[in-house]
Structure 1
Amino acid sequence: MKTIAACVEELLVAQPFLEEALSRNIINYSALAEELSKPVSDMLRKPVKTGAIMMALRRYNPPKDLGSSPRLKRVIKSLGDITVRSNLSDFTFQNSNTLIESHSKILGQINLNANVFYAFTRGILESNIIVSSSQKQHVLEHFKNEKQKGVKENLSAISISLPENNSKVTGLYYQIFKRLAWEGIALYEVVSTTNEFTVLVEDDLVDKAFSVIKKLKQ
């Protein structure tokens, strides 16, 4: 049977921004207890007093060093070059037995132009191609026998060089996503390699997104 403390923890874990604010002691416990009263009561299927929820909040131990560990701060300050590429298109195709063959054709085409931006990701059911919009007709031609599920144009990519061993640092991506979310910047696509991280946003958000990411290092 669930306890009040277990319900409170489940709700906090599902809202990392709230959990971080709680860890920094900038939350009004009384107001938060009132806010959580209904969801906790719904989870337990019985009325729960705010005093009991407040007690559970005060006893809750959030993860330590949420964004404040010295190692994470050093990694953020050592983020590398930030590169912006605009005028991009994002194509989504359903996976098929011939998709790789179609992919090889477009690779042969863009290999002749070193200035073309290109990224390919393959999921379980579908694949995405992010490419300079100048190559749109080539993509449509080489993938004409594939099932296209969607296309989005007027996109920009912001790529960030990450320091080595970044994968061993907890919370790096969280800090990037958090800052972008706080500024109301929606990410259309995310692509990453071991030491490079790219976010795709709509053109009208690229200046704001670039500014947010640049300030991470300050």
Structure 2
Amino acid sequence: MPTVSMVVRKMLEEEPFIEDALEKGLINYTKLAHYLQERVEGEVGRKVEAPAILMALKRAGRSAREAGTANLDFSGCEIAVRGGVCEFNYRKTQGAIKAADSLFEVVDLAGGDILNVSYGNYEISVIVGEKLARQVGKKMEGEKLLSEAKKLSLLCVRFPKNIVGQVGFFSLITRALAWHGINIQETISTLTEFILVLNTKDAARAYDVLMELFSRKRSVGALE
């Protein structure tokens, strides 16, 4: 039979926004305990008094703060936004792989062209600047197009290698944007880059959210 603490912990994990608010100390524990009381009783199969849930929440809150993002080091991180981007998704086949690889022959990366190709188990995602969209259509002709999206922007976060070993860095970014109702269409990551594909209408606001978030810890640089 699960304990009250186990059930409360499970509920918080299923509702990350509440867990995030606990980490920030924004939650009224008493009201939350009463809010969860009926659900907790259903899980443990018996009547549970609100004070027991309250104690479990306080323990969870302490754990969230101790394991949270307070000690993350943001020094050396940089943020940039690139607009005028579109995305194409194709079914992954040998022909599609070869065609996608050939796109690198027609782009001028040194001149600022945008091209990101990601290979999943079943799909290929191609993200390019809008001026190269026609080239994608030509190179990928005959391949199964699953979806396409235009009017996108890339929000690029660059960071030092030591960030990789810091628990919570990436979730901090995605949670901050989710708190502000900003949808992430896709993500791209490498060793020292985390790129978020967003609707262009959200790009400026997303940039401001992350700049404000990072500036709490240190002065963040801005890439040109």
Aligned to 2:74: 76
> Structure 2 regions of 5+ residues with no counterpart?
216-224
In structure 2, relative to structure 1, the CA distance for the partners of 1:59 and 1:83 (3 Å cut) is closer
TM-score (normalizing by structure 1)? 0.87
Q: What does residue range 107-186 of structure 1 map to in structure 2 within 5 Å?
A: 107-111=104-108, 114-186=111-183
Report the count of equivalent residues. 213
Task: Return the alpha-carbon distance in structure 1 between the equivalents of residues 32 and 51 of structure 2.
Answer: 11
Aligned to 2:52: 52
Tell me the CA shift for residue 113 of structure 1: 7.2
Aligned to 2:69: 67
Task: Return the alpha-carbon distance in structure 2 between the equivalents of residues 12 and 94 of structure 1.
Answer: 37
Superposed structure 1 runs of 4+ greater than 4 Å apart: none
Does residue 85 of structure 2 align to residue 88 of structure 1? Answer: yes
In structure 2, relative to structure 1, the CA distance for the partners of 1:217 and 1:26 (3 Å cut) is closer
Question: 1:147-170 CA distances to partner (integer Å, 9 max, x unpaired)?
Answer: 111001000112122112210111
Read off the aligned partner of 1:68 and give its amino acid letter: A
8 Å contact 1:106–1:139 — kept in the other structure?
yes
Aligned to 1:213: 210
Aligned to 2:3: 3
In structure 2, relative to structure 1, the CA distance for the partners of 1:45 and 1:98 (3 Å cut) is farther
In structure 2, relative to structure 1, the CA distance for the partners of 1:55 and 1:107 (3 Å cut) is same
Does residue 202 of structure 2 align to residue 199 of structure 1? Answer: no
Superposed CA RMSD in Å reads 2.1
TM-score (normalizing by structure 2)? 0.85
